[in-house]
Amino acid sequence: MELPDGDFLDLDWLGPAAADCLVVVLHGLEGSSSSHYVRALAHNLAAFDIPSVVMHQRGCSGEPNRLARFYHGGETRDLRRVLEHCRRQRPDARLYAVGFSLGGNILLKWLGESPDSLLDAAAAVSVPFRLDLGAQRLEHGLSRLYQAHLVNGMKRSVDRKRRRMPHPVDRRALSRCRTFEEIDTCLTAPLHGFRDARDYYARSSCRRFLASIHTPTLIVHSLDDPFMTPAAVPGEEELSSAVTMELSPRGGHCGFVAGATPFQPRYWLDRRLPEFIRSRMGNDTGT
């Protein structure tokens, strides 16, 4: 999909070619249509003849994007363009969206800042409601393993881009980055018009937008999510009447496993999201 700035976004269309509904899926940081949670959602939606389309953030489809910039947790303009494109492609379809992790933050921010979201309903899973608290949490305990994996992935993305074009971010400064706050100060902020990481976190965190959401929205979150602390989770008074928050004491990050034994796990999120979409389809048609 061509963008007005000369860049592009890759969209993966999955499932049946139904004309009456479509689910737009937003992956998390350094994710793609190959991410396990995206594949699981597409598979379970397809079982109900519901098609989906994965919006790859810039540079996440396996091919570097054309510009020096990447994507970030507050970038909602690309989402708007994708939703407008989907409306043109499927003008009679009911349009839904599901966002995971950073993609969920983008989705909730978009819903809160847009009176007409173009969506009939939305769901967000394992959202970093406050990016600053998420960055701090990942500097402690076993969460540092997640941080190292994701930070190194972002560095590799810059290296791939350097093979195609000059890049404004200093290579040596980037190589020294070990935490999210460091890489957001060195990479994310200067590339996307923020003063520094703290300015990026303050302006892009979705929590302050939740009270302004008008679209029926489900948020699924686990209190033991290793990417954040319970302090990041908004209270009921911060949610608009259109938002339903389902909190689980356990579930990790985009996991949500149940079952009598570890050898027979049940990923209840795989049932909950299609269930929510199908319930909204019934409401939208008046049935």
Tens digits of residue pLDDT in 181-235:
999 999 999 999 999 999 999 999 999 999 999 999 999 998 888 888 889 999 9
Q: State the pLDDT at residue 286.
A: 47
- Of 209 and 30, more confident: 209
- Given phi > 0 = left and psi -120 to 50 = alpha, else beta, which region is 30? left
Check: CB of residue 184 under 8 Å from CB of residue 155: no
Residue 274: exposure state from Cβ atoms within 10 A (0-12, 13-18, ≥19):
buried
What pLDDT score does 261 carry? Answer: 39
Query: Cα–Cα distance between 135 and 102 in angstroms, integer?
Result: 12
Contacts by 186-190, CB closer than 8 A, 24 or more apart = 187/70, 187/154, 187/158, 188/70, 188/72
- The stretch 147-160 carries a mean pLDDT of 91
Output the pLDDT for position 284: 67
Yes or no: say if 4 and 33 are a contact pair by the CB < 8 Å rule: no
Q: What percent of the chain has pLDDT over 90?
A: 70
CA distance 136 to 160: 28
- Going by C-alpha positions, the residue among 46, 105, 154 that lies closest to residue 38 is 46
**Active site residue: 27, 72, 221, 253, which one?**
253
Catalytic residue among 52, 205, 225, 248: 225
Is 74's pLDDT higher than 60?
Answer: yes
Is pLDDT of 118 > 80? Answer: yes
How do residues 234-255 score in pLDDT, each as one tens digit? 999 999 999 999 988 776 676 6
Kindly give, in sequence order, each residue whose CB lies less than 8 Å from that of residue 141, ignoring residues fewer than 6 positions away.
226
| Catalytic residue list contains 204 | no
Q: Which residue has the higher pLDDT, 39 or 263?
A: 39
Set 35, 52, 101, 204: catalytic member: 101
* Tens digit of each residue's pLDDT (9 = 90 or more) over 261-271: 344 444 678 88
For this structure, is 214 an active site residue? no
Give strand pairing partners of 11: 55
Amino acid sitting at position 67: L
Q: What is the pLDDT of residue 242?
A: 97
Greater pLDDT, 164 or 246: 246
Distance in angstroms (rounded) separating the CA atoms of residues 123 and 89: 22
Q: Is 212 a catalytic residue?
A: no
